A and B are shown apart, each in its own frame.
Chain A
Amino acid sequence: MKLELGNFYVKDIVFGEETSYKDGILTINKEEALAIVKEDEHITEADIAIVKPGDMVRLVPVKEAIEPRYRIGGGPVFPGVTGDLMKTGDGRTLALKNCSVIVVGKRWGGFQDGLIDMGGEGAKYTYYSQLKNIVLVADSDEEFEKREQQKKNHALRWAGMRLSEYIGKCVSEIEPEEIEEFELEPITKRSSKINDLPSVVLVLQPQSQMEELGYNDLVYGWDCNRMVPTFMHPNEVLDGAMISGSFMPCSSKWSTYDFQNLPMIKRLYKEHGKTLNFLGIIMSNLNVALEQKERAALFVAQMAKSIGADSAIVAEEGYGNPDADFIACIAALEDAGVKTIGLTNECTGRDGGSQPLVTLDQKANAIVSCGNVSELIELPPMETVLGELEALARDGLSGGWSGDELLGPSVREDGSIIMENNAMFCGDQVVGWSTKTMAEY
């Protein structure tokens, strides 16, 4: 399978008459873009803003981030989600780089939603402050979940995907500025030079904790809660086979943009043929019942062994209950003789004194750690807020609260905030960007 990602490096984004891309300038016809958003009658209000790195703007409640793309041939960017099912990862897809479509609730937030500061001291807590962002701020008539802490956010998330496809389409006829190639030979057809290298498989554990459909990550539109681990080609992940869900405390979450650009995959491609033989991906999950966790670990270890993996990297999208899957999977792989590295974040509490993962095993002796979900963060007021600041305190965001005996509410009258890292949008960057680690103090 060979994927070509045709890249366009966006230097600036402006509103204008025609949605188009020229010389690094992405122009968006706002009216037309909003019409695409409102194709879903459940969208009741919508507006679009443009924010750039350094802008003194706070976005909250942020629900999703998506890279604008176009699939050559015109198929859906997210097969099984925004269109019919089709193969991904083989062929050419165009991507607008350095930018993303960010979906923000105009009023209502939920457990999984997060916060982005584009400028100031809060900017370092999230990857998305480095991007130029097309911000969709919208509301829906999904009354059933308006006051629920858990929200599917279906209308808004799908509107974000439609908007990203609409924007991506403007480069459909233009020759990309750069082509990134991703090609892996079938495992049994590789040269002896590659076969002699230590082999590695990447085990991804996307979020799938909700029994009810509509909250979890999707693979080709299929709810990850309803799957057992399966073998995938890395190109499928890079090319729209996976979309983010709407459940996990936000700093632990992987956005759809994260899947489309998954740094660990790109890094393994760089090593492929040089130091490692990159076999592919085992897509596992994070279901809550113990038997489901054990079953998933069995599948992963068997598959890794059957394809001859000498080593594995296991990354989890979550903390708490999913730590059990993470550790069980590492232990099962080590038991099968597969040398394994874990990639995760930790929950050591505000004072740093708690056990880092809910389960531990001495077999998990090689872990890269990307942050503490419960680190306390205090930030000054921001000139502009897109969305509704009060959502952080009012709506049960995982890192916000309406009142606390010692700390007061997360959102103060002057617009300054105090929160846990938990609510930083995809803040721990367990997909691989993170330059954070954990240390003992």
Chain B
Amino acid sequence: MKKAILYLNQFFGQIGGEDVADFAPEIREGLIGPALPLNQKLKGVAEVTHTIICGDNFMGSNQDEAIETILEFLKDKEFDIFFAGPAFRAGRYGSACGNICKAVKEKFNVPVVTSMNDENPGVEMFKSEMYILKGGASAAKMRLDVKDMANLGIKLLKGEEILSAEEEGYYGRGKRHQKWLNPPVNATDRVIDMLLKKIRGEKFTTELPIPELDLVPIAPAIKDMSKAKIALATSGGIVPVENPDRIQSASATRWGKYDISKLDNLPSGVFKTIHAGYDPAAADANPDVCVPLDALRAYEKEGRIGKVHDYFYTTVGTGTTQKEAARMGREIVEDMLSAGVDAVILTST
């Protein structure tokens, strides 16, 4: 049988109320409070061997110490899954469940499951990192929430397919994947259904909820361009012809930076594009149309800008996910900042 360990706060751990909220972590063999129904609902797939109890204030005020102590408790324990809560609407408890689940998952690489009400601030803090089941507002929902935690735990322990957030009842972790509808419904039927509802002013559910945009504020203008160091960067895939960093032609995860300090332009035959998403003819014949070093050098000679940065930065934009692009962007910016770059001209295609 698999083994499970449950984390509880001082209240559900039957130590006491708010007056003992600074209770330091303890681990106890066997079942306390919600561990009993959890053990029962795990239906013999796993048994709860230990219960950990920690006061909400202790976790809140001495988080590092609390986590370290609990991880130390767990070091010599055998367990296949870690549960915390349910935390209902209790904010400090929710945050504690999230923090300890995160630490246990990272340290021991076991599945972690908790449960919170949608008004618990712990949901927003931790939902992208773990399975948080949608729980009730108060302990009146204890039996139901524990059962949901156990059911998801059983699936995880058996290695069964975890369905979508909506189907399983956990908060979406921000990961969108394709799935086949069961029973199957053609896209045409879904379109007509949604269309008729929209026309009639009835409620409909889009299959692609538009997330809030992550807009970056525009940086303040440079006051004196004649002293500014300007860098060139591109998602147009211009690289030395041998593509030394093996940047991918599509769905890129790599970027490169190449020395242009001794060049007045990017000669054809020395540089080319490896971007698979546009017609390469013009950029191969004259890479400056994509990375305009020639024009920038002219500005430099005229004194309109201070200096062209010694390197240009490059990757491929086609099929590249926003997440990878953001990561590469952060890495590139870090490099530019350390080189004292004042502004960047980012060319796309």
Total chain A interface residues with beta-carbon distance under 8 A: 76
Q: Is A232 an interface residue (CB 8 A)?
A: no
Pairwise interchain contact A440-B172, C-beta atoms closer than 8 A: yes
Taking A339-B199, A435-B186 as contacts, is the C-beta distance between A441 and B176 under 8 angstroms?
A: yes
Within B262-292, the residues touching A (CB, 8 Å) are 276-281
Q: DSSP majority for the A interface?
A: loop
Taking A311-B198, A360-B210, A366-B206 as contacts, is the C-beta distance between A354 and B321 under 8 angstroms?
A: yes
Chain B residues whose CB sits within 8 angstroms of the CB of A429 once the complex forms: 187
Q: Is A33 an interface residue (CB 8 A)?
A: no
- Interface code A425-439, partner B: CB below 8 Å = 1, 0 otherwise? 000011011111111
Pairwise interchain contact B210-A365, C-beta atoms closer than 8 A: yes
Pairwise interchain contact B319-A264, C-beta atoms closer than 8 A: no
Q: Which of B11-19, B105-113, B247-255 contacts A (4 or more CB under 8 A)?
A: B247-255
A317 and B194 CA atoms in complex are apart in Å by: 20
Chain B residues whose CB sits within 8 angstroms of the CB of A342 once the complex forms: 208
A246 and B246 CA atoms in complex are apart in Å by: 25
| Interchain nearest-CB distance for B320 vs A (Å) | 9
Pairwise interchain contact B179-A434, C-beta atoms closer than 8 A: no
Which among B280, B318, B322 has the greatest number of chain A C-beta atoms within 10 A? B322
Chain B residues whose CB sits within 8 angstroms of the CB of A437 once the complex forms: 178-179, 181, 190, 207
Pairwise interchain contact B187-A375, C-beta atoms closer than 8 A: no
Q: Which of B159-167, B304-312, B330-338 contacts A (4 or more CB under 8 A)?
A: B159-167
Pairwise interchain contact A149-B191, C-beta atoms closer than 8 A: no
Pairwise interchain contact B276-A352, C-beta atoms closer than 8 A: no
Measured CB to CB, the nearest residue on chain A to B164 is A439
Taking A368-B194, A439-B166 as contacts, is the C-beta distance between A375 and B177 under 8 angstroms?
A: yes
Q: Is B75 an interface residue (CB 8 A)?
A: no
Measured CB to CB, the nearest residue on chain A to B184 is A435
Chain B residues whose CB sits within 8 angstroms of the CB of A401 once the complex forms: 248
Total chain B interface residues with beta-carbon distance under 8 A: 54
Measured CB to CB, the nearest residue on chain A to B176 is A348
Partner among B174, B178, B319 whose Cβ is within 8 Å of the Cβ of A320: B319
Pairwise interchain contact A271-B192, C-beta atoms closer than 8 A: yes
Taking A264-B191, A440-B172 as contacts, is the C-beta distance between A367 and B208 under 8 angstroms?
A: yes
| Interchain nearest-CB distance for B188 vs A (Å) | 4
Q: Is A165 an interface residue (CB 8 A)?
A: no
Residues on B close to A: CB < 8 A? Answer: 162, 164-167, 172-181, 184-192, 194-196, 198-199, 204, 206-208, 210-211, 213-214, 246, 248-251, 276-281, 318-319, 321-324
10 contacts between A and B (CB under 8 A): A263-B186, A267-B186, A320-B319, A341-B195, A341-B198, A354-B322, A398-B319, A437-B179, A439-B165, A441-B175
Shortest Cβ-Cβ A-B pairs, 10 listed: A352-B175, A440-B172, A439-B164, A354-B321, A349-B321, A435-B184, A267-B188, A432-B188, A367-B208, A355-B322
Residues on A close to B: CB < 8 A? Answer: 111, 124, 149-150, 198, 200, 209-212, 249, 263-264, 266-268, 271, 275-276, 288, 310-311, 313, 320-321, 339, 341-344, 346-349, 351-358, 360-362, 364-375, 396, 398, 401, 403, 420-422, 429-430, 432-441
